[in-house]
Amino acid sequence: MTGKITAQKREAGKPHSALTDLRSKGEVPGVVYGYQVETTPLTVSEIDLIKTLRESGRNGVINLEVDGKTINVVLSDYQTDALKGSFKHVDFLAVNMSDELEVSVAVHTLGESAGEKESGVLNQPNREVTIKVKPADIPDALEVDVTTLAIGDHITVGDIRQTVSYEILEDDDFILVSITAPRTDEELESLETPVDEGAEPEVIGDDAEGKEKEA
C-alpha cells in the first residue's frame, strides 16, 4: 500500500528554537533528497506521518507532495524524542521505481516451534537482514516459519534464500533463528551466584617478591 503525505517547504538554517516551535505545532522538520530531486528542507504533519507509516509500513513507498509535485519516496532515516517518542526529524529518499534499493527489513518468526513446546528457547541472533528489491516490492518484514524446528535446530539465510522473491545480501550461514535447550538448574544457579565484591584479587607479583625477600 502506498501512503500519501503533503509537505511544506521550509527555509534552511533556521535556529534551533524555530525547529522547536515547529514541533510544538505538530510539524516534523525533514528533508527530501535523491532521484531527480534537489535536496529540499521541508516539514510534514506528525499526525499524517504516523498515519501513513501505519498504513504503508516502515519501508513502504510514500507519495510525497511538495509544491504540487508528487515524489515517490521511502523513509530513509528519522530521529525521535527519547522521552516523548515523538518524531524530531525525518529524511525522505526519492526513488526510481524501476531501480532496486538496498534496505534493511526486520525478521519476524511465525508460529511456535516444536522445540519451544519441549521447553526449548527460541533465539534470534540477527533481527534484521539487508535485501535488494524494487521500491514497490519492499516487504514489511522477512517472515520465517519456525514451527518444525526442534531443540538444536536453526534457520539460516541459505535455508530460505530460494523462498523469497528478492535478493538477501547476507551470506548463507547468517543465522536467523535457533532453538537451544533450556538451561539446567545448575546453570541458572551459577548465574544467580552473587559476586563477592569485597574480595581482594591475588597479586602474584607481590607474592613472588615477598618469597624472594624471605629467602
Whether the per-residue pLDDT at 187 is higher than 70: the answer is: no
Tally of CA atoms within 13 A in the half-sphere of 21 that contains its CB: 6
Owner of C-alpha cell 516551535: 21
Q: What is the mean predicted confidence (pLDDT) over 32-41?
A: 95
Identity of the amino acid at 134: K
Per-residue confidence band for 56, with pLDDT thresholds at 50, 70 and 90: confident
- Over residues 149-161, the pLDDT tens digits come to 999 999 999 999 9
Per-residue confidence band for 17, with pLDDT thresholds at 50, 70 and 90: confident
The angle formed by the CA atoms of residues 208, 210 and 215, to the nearest 5 degrees, is: 95
Query: Is the model more confident about 208 or about 99?
Result: 99
Number of neighbouring beta carbons within 10 Å of residue 209: 11
Give the three-class secondary structure for 63. Answer: strand
Give the three-class secondary structure for 148. Answer: coil
Q: What is the mean predicted confidence (pLDDT) over 176-201?
A: 69
Q: What is the mean predicted confidence (pLDDT) over 127-141?
A: 94
Give the pLDDT score at 148.
96
Number of neighbouring beta carbons within 10 Å of residue 116: 18
User: 51 — phi, psi (to 5°)?
Assistant: -60, -45
Start-end of CATH 2.170.120.20 domains in the chain: 102-191
The CATH number of domain 3-96, selected from 2.60.40.10, 3.40.50.1000, 2.40.240.10, 2.30.110.10: 2.40.240.10
Say how far apart CA 37 and CA 20 lie, in whole Å.
27
At the fourth CATH level, which superfamily is domain 102-191?
A: Ribosomal protein L25, C-terminal domain (2.170.120.20)
Q: Give me the percent of the chain exceeding a pLDDT of 90.
A: 70
Whether the per-residue pLDDT at 11 is higher than 90: the answer is: no
Q: What is the mean predicted confidence (pLDDT) over 46-69?
A: 92
Q: Taken in order 75, 79, 85, 88, is the CA torsion positive or negative?
A: negative
Tell me the average pLDDT of the chain: 87
Start-end of CATH 2.40.240.10 domains in the chain: 3-96
Quickly list H helices, 108-200. 114-117, 157-160, 185-192
Per-residue confidence band for 1, with pLDDT thresholds at 50, 70 and 90: low
Question: C-alpha cell of 68?
Answer: 504540487
Give the three-class secondary structure for 90. Answer: strand
Whether the per-residue pLDDT at 92 is higher than 80: the answer is: yes
Give the pLDDT score at 204.
46
Say how far apart CA 188 and CA 43 lie, in whole Å.
52
Whether the per-residue pLDDT at 74 is higher than 60: the answer is: yes
Give the pLDDT score at 42.
95
